[in-house]
Amino acid sequence: MGQTLAKKRAFVTGGGRGIGAAIALRLAREGADVAITYVSRPDDAHKTVEAAQENDVRALAVQADASDELALTAAVEHAADVFGGIDILVNNAGIAVIAPVDEITLHDFDRTFDVNVRAVFVAIQAVLKHMPNGGRIINIGSCNAERMPFAGGAAYAMSKAALKGLAQGLARDLGPRAITVNNVQPGPVDTEMNPADGEFAEMIKGLMALPRYAHADEIAAMVAYLAGPEAGFVTGASLTIDGGFTA
């Protein structure tokens, strides 16, 4: 099978490492030019770019905090200028602040919403000016939108649940342009921030039908499907890939 995303142009927020890097590299393997944003650790971001370029595609990294609307919009404009447009937007950047409701600060609450929800909307508005009909918008949510089985995750769960409603509403707005909008809800994924051998891993595995963490490439595969031609009739959906965490 040939590359399903040849000549497409993708923009991935938070693509320097973890799930975002896996998504960027999978899209590049499918033939898409890829721009990623990162906040810190530029070496990781540039390694992702170099790995993407091994697929004979264009790739670039732009430093931009997703919560900074001016920086995020400028990053979108730069990528669109370099690539000549954007066909695929993946809103992957996110944060998790876990704290009891009587201890979490309003600053942490606001930043959770700013990065996990507001930034998604900002990026979508910025990209739409550069996205042709038939484009793809994919937001990375969380299975915690459906199930939060331990205390302290209310703000995070709220922010990820908001992405479900956003995808449904925007699917209606953008349907006339054949632009699909979908929400991917991963379960536990083995990354540096949430390792499969971490402090809470065994407890989490005990909540799952498949008692293991996902590989980031498994999440990237779902994103690649939604970005590809076979998913043209999928929109407004929240697709859960969580090993049965919410089963």
- In the block, which residue shows the tokens 């799952």? 208
State how many domains the chain has: 1
Does residue 83 sit within a domain?
Answer: yes
Does residue 123 sit within a domain?
Answer: yes
Q: What is the per-residue pLDDT for 237?
A: 98
Does residue 160 sit within a domain?
Answer: yes
pLDDT greater than 70 at residue 1: no
Domain enclosing residue 122, as ranges: 9-238
Q: What is the per-residue pLDDT for 5?
A: 98
pLDDT tens per residue across span 148-165: 999 999 999 999 999 999
Q: What is the per-residue pLDDT for 193?
A: 84
What does each C-alpha distance from 141 to 44, 56, 229 come to in angstroms?
23, 30, 22
- Which percentage of the chain shows pLDDT scores above 70? 100
By C-alpha distance, which of 59, 95, 99, 94 is closest to 79? Answer: 59
Does residue 164 sit within a domain?
Answer: yes
Q: What are the φ and ψ backbone dihedral angles of 9, each rounded to 5 degrees? A: -130, 125
Tokens of 224: 């690649």
Here the CATH number for the domain that contains residue 184 is 3.40.50.720
Q: Is the dihedral of CA 131, 173, 92, 122 positive or negative?
A: positive
Does residue 94 sit within a domain?
Answer: yes
pLDDT greater than 80 at residue 2: no
Provide the pLDDT confidence category of residue 200 given band limits of 50, 70 and 90.
confident
Does residue 194 sit within a domain?
Answer: yes
Q: What is the per-residue pLDDT for 35?
A: 98
Is 156 annotated as catalytic? yes
How do 59-63 and 33-38 pair as beta strands? parallel
Does residue 128 sit within a domain?
Answer: yes
Which element (helix H / strand E) includes 218?
A: helix 216-227
Q: What is the per-residue pLDDT for 213?
A: 97
- Active-site option among 38, 156, 213, 225: 156
Residues 199 and 210: beta-carbon distance below 8 Å: no
pTM higher than the cut 0.75:
yes
pLDDT tens per residue across span 15-37: 999 999 999 999 999 999 999 99
Does residue 47 sit within a domain?
Answer: yes
Note the Cα 81 to chain centre separation in Å. 22
Strand partners, 140: 184
Q: What is the per-residue pLDDT for 64?
A: 97
Q: What is the per-residue pLDDT for 202?
A: 94
Q: Using CA atoms, how far apart are residues 57 and 4, in angstroms rounded to an integer?
A: 13
**Rounded to a whole number, what is the largest CA-CA distance in the chain?**
54
